[in-house]
Amino acid sequence: MDILLNNKTNRMKNLRLFFAVIVLLFLQMETFAQADLRWYEKAIFYQIYPPSFKDFDGDGIGDIKGIIEKLDYVQSIGINAIWFTPMFSSPFKDGGYDVSDYYSIDKRYGTNDDMVQLIAKAHEKGLKLCLDLVIGHTSNENPWFVESSKGTNLRYSDYYIWTPFVPNEVKGKPTVRGNDIMGEDKYVPFKSARGNYYIKNFYDIQPALNFGFANPNPDHPWEQSIDAPGPQAVQREMKNVISFWMDKGIDGFRVDLASSIVKNDPGKKATIKVWQGLNLWFREKYPQGILIAEWFNPKQSSEAGFNIDFMRGGSLVSNRQGGEFQPTICYFARDGKGQLKDWYDQFIAQYDATKGKSYISLPTGNHDNPRLNAGDRNTTDQLKVTMTFFLTMPGIPVIYYGDEIGMKFLTGLYNKEGSQGDSSKNRAGSRTPMQWDSTKNAGFSTSGFWNLYLPVDKDPDRPNVAKEEQDSNSLLNYTRKLIQLRKSSKALSADGDWQLLSDVNKPYPMVYNRSAGGESFCIILNPTDKNLTVDIPTLKNNKASLVLGKAKGGYYKIGSPYDRINIGAVSALVFKME
């Protein structure tokens, strides 16, 4: 009896232990899963423009195998996530933003199998990968479009927006910026069984997919509501595209022109509603995935359910109104004629509105805008100042390939695959081949130069990775240090608080504070060619220790009621405050 009882209690004990272990395991899995779900908060992205990164097969165009070869390099910078501009099948009339088949990788980059291999290799190294989802339009060579044009009651008829005529109220009117209200320019004449015009998004060869209209006009039967069968079918198709690649292991997407899918929606109410639905579906199906909006309005995109949205550096780094690059108007120029106010007002409004909800990304550059090295902002010291800014701001940093070595924005290039948006904006200058070493074509490709996607910078002193690896003062090694510092501190992370300490109306130098949980850093940026001194309301610290940057005689003197800071010409200083 006793033995029996003992056995019973033992069994009970064992059972309890067993359950306890299970519960513990489960809890641990939960926390692991939780940690992984929020990977994007710690992300430091790298943007790759695939045709210009690394050519493996020697045809002059970058490819997936080339990218695989260079993953170790990307990782060595401290990067842990990559996003690629579109790699799907395309006639390349807009650099791949004209997709002809969303379910296949374009053959110039490789195959779907190569992509799966890239995902596996990247994941082995702890790198996350995001593709570019061109959600709002396709190429006119996409079979959906071809089929759509054939009649009114076919499977794809309502995938696009077809009109019999240009309505009178639109005639002679240009589109309002941001596609908010469409003008005559959006109606592309195209006689077909389906209609006489279609609505385009960007170039004529980019017919807009039909996500519906915010307030359909009953006199315009082509203006369908966002809940109509056509727009709903388009949503289903895009969910299918998303699932297809997510199920292959991709970690998320950068969503092209996310803000403009619904037509004639100035307040973005309907667009936000559509995205709330899509984001909810996405998060339920892929809790580990992320969607990054190209919306340029974090407040709105956050409400729409996105994790991250871009904001342009705008007047800080470039001003291209008058040509390919006009350095003197921007903040990060050595003549010190820039201002901070416009950027600050926009940034702080967005920052305050989204803090704790979603993240702002200030990319160093991208395939649409000039690089950090542009015009007379071309010395390593100048580039270090700008890089310090981008890697010490809150939110999610994105380094555009080549910016970490100071590749130059080239002017005077020809129009390559739609790079020439309008006469003053040739984006080719930011899309030239990555400079790896001092061998032929800067190590980008073994092909003849006449086959190269775009010419390599011809400057004999052009920067390259191999050279900068060897130089402890290079921009590359400085960027690595900045990333290490950022990763080592909660205050400098995506979530740390940000506060401008200098007077917004006295723009030079720019002084700001990053803080979290009692940790605090002070960052001082002086892009100008003059030594500067500034007083800021005291931070009431006991000590300011320089953790990054060369003081060049500069200092941080703690005082009351002001702290006094001095900084040498063209330099950046990061102080840890204690």
User: Please, are residues 372 and 365 in contact by the beta-carbon 8 Å criterion?
Assistant: yes
Strand order across the beta sheet in which 81-84 lies: 359-361, 308-310, 290-293, 252-256, 128-134, 81-84, 45-48, 398-400
Which one of ligand GLC, Mg ion, none is in contact with 367 (Cβ closer than 5 to 8 A by kind)?
ligand GLC
Of the two residues 110 and 496, which places its CB atom closer to Mg ion in the complex? 110
Contact 108, 61 (CB under 8 A): yes
Q: Which of 208, 199, 43, 192 is nearest to 127 (CA)?
A: 43
Give the C-alpha separation, 80 to 145, whole Å: 37
Contact partner at residue 63 from Mg ion, ligand GLC, none, CB < 5 to 8 Å by partner kind: Mg ion
**Cα separations (Å) of 559 from 540, 553, 563, 573?**
8, 18, 5, 19
* Residue numbers 400-429 binding ligand GLC by CB under 6 A: none
Q: Which pair of tokens denotes residue 364?
A: 């160093």
CB of 107 to Mg ion, least distance (A): 10
Q: Which of 462, 346, 349, 481 is nearest to 406 (CA)?
A: 462
- Of 57-65, 171-179, 320-328, 530-538, the segment contacting Mg ion by CB under 5 A is 57-65
Q: Please say whether the beta carbons of 399 and 82 come within 8 A.
A: no
The stretch near Mg ion (CB under 5 A) out of 62-70, 224-232, 330-338, 363-371 is 62-70
For the CB of residue 421, give the shortest distance to ligand GLC in the complex, in Å.
Answer: 7
How far, in Å, CA of 397 to CA of 80, rounded?
Answer: 11
Single-letter amino acid code for the residue at 34: Q
Q: Which stretch binds Mg ion (CB under 5 A): 50-58, 114-122, 163-171, 522-530?
A: 50-58
Verify binding: residue 309, ligand GLC, rule CB under 6 A: no
Strands (E), 182-242: 187-189, 197-199
Binding mask 254-283 for ligand GLC (x = CB under 6 A): --xx--------------------------
CB-based contact 314:343 (threshold 8 Å): yes
59 lies in the site for Mg ion, by CB under 5 A: yes
Q: Taking the complex as a whole, how short is the minimal distance between the CB of residue 389 and ligand GLC, in angstroms?
A: 22
Whole-number Å distance between alpha carbons of 164 and 178: 25
In whole angstroms, what is the distance from residue 128 CA to residue 443 CA? 26
Q: Which stretch binds ligand GLC (CB under 6 A): 89-97, 120-128, 380-388, 506-514?
A: 89-97
Whether residue 552 contacts residue 568, with contact meaning beta carbons closer than 8 Å, is answered with: yes
367 near ligand GLC, rule: CB under 6 A: yes
Segment lying near Mg ion (by CB under 5 A), choices 58-66, 96-104, 343-351, 507-515 = 58-66
Choices 27-35, 55-63, 80-88, 270-278; region in contact with Mg ion by CB under 5 A: 55-63
Residue 310 binding partner per list Mg ion, ligand GLC, none, with a CB distance cut-off of 5 to 8 Å that depends on partner kind: none
83 binds, among Mg ion, ligand GLC, none (CB under 5 to 8 A by kind): none
Number of chain residues interacting with ligand GLC (CB under 6 A): 9
149 contacts: CB under 8 Å, gap ≥ 6: 162, 190, 192, 193, 194, 198
- Give yes or no for a cis peptide into 509 (omega within 30° of 0): yes
Q: Which is nearer to ligand GLC, 50 or 549 (CB)?
A: 50
Q: Which does 368 bind (CB under 5 to 8 A by kind): ligand GLC, Mg ion, none?
A: ligand GLC
Q: Is 61 in the site for Mg ion (CB under 5 A)?
A: yes
Of 257 and 428, which has the nearer Cβ to ligand GLC? Answer: 257
Phi-psi region of 282 (alpha: psi -120 to 50; beta: other; left: phi over 0): alpha
Smaller CB distance to Mg ion: residue 87 or 304?
87
Phi, psi for residue 327 in degrees, rounded to 5: -70, -30
Residues 463, 470: Cα–Cα separation, whole Å? 12
Residue 72 bridge partners (DSSP)? none
Looking at 19-27, 93-101, 403-411, 539-547, which segment touches ligand GLC (CB under 6 A)? 93-101
Amino acid identity for residue 573 in this structure: L
Backbone angles phi, psi at 441, to 5 degrees: 50, 35
The only residue of 57, 69, 147, 335 in contact with Mg ion, by rule CB under 5 A: 57
Q: Which is nearer to ligand GLC, 366 or 382 (CB)?
A: 366
Residue 519 touching Mg ion (CB under 5 A)? no
Cβ 147 to ligand GLC shortest distance, Å: 22
Residue 256 touches which of ligand GLC, Mg ion, none (Cβ within 5-8 Å per kind): ligand GLC
The size of the interface with Mg ion (CB under 5 A), counted in residues, is 5
Contact 489, 523 (CB under 8 A): no
In this chain, which stretch among 70-78, 90-98, 435-443, 462-470 interacts with ligand GLC, using CB under 6 A? 90-98
Determine if 131 is a binding residue for ligand GLC (CB under 6 A): no
- What are the beta bridge partners of residue 426? 420
Task: Name the residue whose CB lies closest to ligand GLC.
Answer: 97
Q: Is 55 in the site for Mg ion (CB under 5 A)?
A: yes
| Residues within the interface to Mg ion (CB under 5 A) | 55, 57, 59, 61, 63
Residues of this chain that interact with ligand GLC (CB under 6 A) are 94-95, 97, 134, 202, 256-257, 367-368
